[in-house]
Amino acid sequence: MRPDWNHIIEHDWTLMLDRDGVINRQIVGGYVTRWEEFEFLPGVFEAFQKFAQRFKYIFVVTNQQGVDKGLMTIEDLDAIHDRMCSEIECHGGRIDGLFVCTQLASAPDNYRKPDPRMAFTAQRLHPDLDLAKCVMVGDKDTDVDFGHNAGTHTIFLGPENPNADDSFGSLYEFSQLL
């Protein structure tokens, strides 16, 4: 049975979002390395408008190993994120923070999702953030595992995922229940 998100989520809740495949089109087998490759998914702006009214904090939590692979610089990634945030703000939404891991998956002791350290960093920077009142939205099992490891609720974008608290076809579809 689907949780009643509209009644569960209150204004002191936090939303954490993966980036690729959630906010923008995923480049299968590749990386968004420059703004011209970044393509917002349908309904994302409308979803962010709703989220801005409903959530206390909205964070993007993303693995971006393309930096450590040498496919782009951290400055390239920052420019993409600055433009993404600006476009979302221009359409009535907001992102309150970005938490990015550029480490390679093969790096020892890396903090890539599903490791929960990016969530704990967000909580350290925002001491009023209650991870039990947080929803992590992603399109990969590692996003769901990250949410579980951090103690958040989880939403999977894609076919029903039995490990997630709920599944939706898109970020827009989830936003329509709020």
DSSP string, 114-146: TSTHHHHHHHHHSTT--GGGEEEEESSHHHHHH
Instruction: Report the DSSP pairing between strands 97-101 and 14-17.
Output: unpaired
For the chain, the C-alpha Rg in angstroms (whole number) is 15
How far apart (Å, rounded) are the C-alpha atoms in residues 108 and 122?
Answer: 22
Tokens of 20: 């690729």
| From 20, 139, 143, 165, the catalytic residue | 20
20 is catalytic: yes
18 is catalytic: yes
Q: Which of 80, 59, 71, 72 is nearest to 15 (CA)?
A: 59
| From 4, 12, 18, 115, the catalytic residue | 18
DSSP SS3 for 66: coil
- Indicate which residues carry an active-site annotation: 18, 20
